């Protein structure tokens, strides 16, 4: 399967712990996006990369969140000192870069539960 | 805000009927996209319409865009039970899209 993959699919952690999620995009895609989604809402933009460069980070994103894409391939999203409000589905998507905009391909998500 | 807002929030129809969902937004956009999400397949891209386009078709889907009214509609014709899902419009500029809260569609067999 050459789609977007995310690991782990589920993560349960205690408040205050750090967690790290991984996203492997479609190999030829140079853009990678992270979103967060809570029940009944649409995906909320967190950050995105073009190749290894992080081009934008949501102003709503706490400094406890950090993302990397070191070699322009896979990406990791780390949440430090997790809080119960961080419980959500974390989605990764990838796309090509194009002036008119292109479709994004989403992974299955990582569901985080903070207890 | 650039974010789209779908209407209605929830829609229930009989199989075979048509379903129409609307999206309104507030700022200028480069493109508008519709996505579907169900528990089985996650988020899937349906169709992209650019700001200089007025209508696009893909199979049973028809999307319109009226930039003067800052609105779009998604029409699903001859609905099937498998169309049961949440539908999101996503307003895009050159680098990212912003999703609305979605419309939950139930198609009753």
Mean pLDDT in residue range A6-35: 96
The whole-number pLDDT of residue A1 equals 55
Query: What residues of A are in contact with residue B97 (Cβ under 8 Å)?
Result: 45, 101, 104
Residue A96's closest chain B neighbor by CA? Answer: B95
Task: Give the residue from B48, B91, B96 showing the smallest Cα distance to A47.
Answer: B96
Q: Using one digit for the tens of pLDDT, what is the confidence trace for B92-105?
A: 887 788 999 999 99
Is the model's pLDDT at B1 over the cut of 60?
no
Q: Using one digit for the tens of pLDDT, what is the confidence trace for A41-51?
A: 999 999 999 99
Mean pLDDT (chain A) is 93
The whole-number pLDDT of residue B53 equals 96
Q: Encoding tokens for residue B52?
A: 């200089």
The whole-number pLDDT of residue A60 equals 78
The residue of A35, A103, A110 whose CB has the most chain B CBs within 10 angstroms, and thus the best one to mutate to test that interface, is A103
Q: How far is CA B95 from CA A46, B44, B92, in A?
A: 13, 19, 7
Mean pLDDT in residue range B76-86: 97
Q: Using one digit for the tens of pLDDT, what is the confidence trace for B18-34?
A: 999 999 999 899 999 99
Pairing of strands A10-13, A110-114: parallel
């Amino acid at each position: 399967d050459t789609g977007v993959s995310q690991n782990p699919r589920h993560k349960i952690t205690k408040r205050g712990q750090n967690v790290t999620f991984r996203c492997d995009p479609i190999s030829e895609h140079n853009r990678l996006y992270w979103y967060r989604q809570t029940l009944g809402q649409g995906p909320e933009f967190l950050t995105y990369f073009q190749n290894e460069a992080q081009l934008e980070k949501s102003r709503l994103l706490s400094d406890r969140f950090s993302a990397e894409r070191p070699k322009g391939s896979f990406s990791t999203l780390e949440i430090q000192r997790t809080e119960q409000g961080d419980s959500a589905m974390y989605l990764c998507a990838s796309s090509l870069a194009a002036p008119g905009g292109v479709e994004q391909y989403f992974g299955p998500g990582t569901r985080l539960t903070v207890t | 805000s650039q974010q789209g807002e779908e209407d209605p929030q929830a829609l229930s129809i009989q199989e075979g009927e048509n379903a129409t969902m609307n999206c309104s937004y507030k700022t200028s956009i480069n493109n508008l996209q519709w996505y579907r999400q169900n528990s089985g397949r996650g988020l899937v891209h349906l169709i992209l319409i650019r700001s200089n386009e007025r209508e696009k078709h893909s199979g049973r889907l028809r999307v319109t865009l009226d930039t003067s009214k800052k609105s779009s509609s998604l029409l699903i014709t001859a609905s099937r039970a498998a169309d049961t899902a949440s539908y999101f419009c996503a307003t895009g500029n050159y680098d990212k899209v912003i999703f609305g809260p979605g419309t939950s569609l139930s198609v009753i067999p």
